[in-house]
Structure 1
């Protein structure tokens, strides 16, 4: 499988936001019957946010898997992973046709484009969005604390890198994900983060488990077992509240909102391996291949469960 020649190779380098969008557009040009790229909204700094919809069917009603990356600006490799998912489903179509026979995939590789570009250009550890906070000298909201479920428990300090925002969905980026959840009604929502080497399910804002926690655990375990078999890497699995210290402070996350309010039955946050938010360029390919092994296994697990 040859990488797209119109933009730098995301397997070996971290792309700019412009190059990310150009790569998505190139997939649509290359696979016009399989791919549809849409501008789904704009960031505070007016960057176009694009999704890629991958489908072998013209039917309006299909089971959908929604994947997002780059919710935190500094987590560069989550964007590379989301792009690799799109690549595998298109440029490596024959090997993954079994998934597309059942599911449509909608992938948003870089939801927090402003934070990502600021992290790339100025401050590598930048996590938040880039909207100035009213009546404050601070900038930005943690997009993964800006959803309404558990928002009351999230950080109120405007100076913090985990600031929840003045109100739920104060950020255009989180409103876009909310819209996709409700309009697409996906079967499976997967949000990519880094770098705790974990596959986790709801909830974060409470230790109470969802009613279908056993199914969610089996889904996470399918990803865990596939990765362990192929690479030897062992991911942790469990609910966010069981694996994350002080998980209540993780309230306001997209994971909990997706399951509790948007009623998406299968919801997973996958925290990549790699030992850092921006692994070296030489490490990118190994990490994204490893993650795809787990993602593909989870999608395969759901083929007979939905």
Structure 2
């Protein structure tokens, strides 16, 4: 897939413009969005992603469009998992509802910047060392095992890292969020940081950890940096509106971790198989390609990911429905 410099430039300008509009809306009126507002924005962003995929289909062909849709769906699902941690962080630091949009938006911008850096690094590694897919595959399988070990998401799942603990001890932090700014000046003229800064550190470091999972996952679906980047951007745009739209539904997705673990494990195995096709490691088949390794087509990957996530969602809703009926009896 040949993507010219001007296409990259137009794409980046368009995406930055959308983010700028979002920032202006949030900056003008911090508030808790209604279900209608959240649903409208989620629908708009999903529509943008679907239209973008059609554009890829028209200009580059159906296979690349399928890669984009599969990558976008995978990243979107992983982003929903991000929301669980965001909910915990919001609760842990008692962020007022009217400021949660601002926290989410800044967190998403940080995630975009981090993923952009990881995508560039990942693309450079892949172009130079095909064996890096072995590492990506092993990392995804390891991540899948860790997801299976996790229980239901609760506040104990979030552990304050060393940077958060240092900031809370070393920085002068006020007890109130005030107007939602990072700093505030007291009546005596002393400048203090607000808890908003600590929340931003928590969100930023969490974004970094999630980027480590998501980038190898999408490189297991497509090797095209343009599709990797755009799939990540479309998956993150609208995440804050989805946060308010889903609301309590997040707590009902009790099997999402299992579904995501299965998806990551599948992509990890897929990466191993693809690495075998381009093998250059001397201790594996004498440094030659392994012909017996099956090749998984993109349409089958899309069906497996859709089916796995669909089953996990349906099973989660059925379980929570049964549990609720038992409580009423």
Structure-1-length-normalised TM-score: 0.24
- Higher helix fraction (1 or 2): 2
Bigger radius of gyration among the two: 2
Q: TM-score, normalised by structure 2?
A: 0.22
Greater per-residue strand proportion: 1
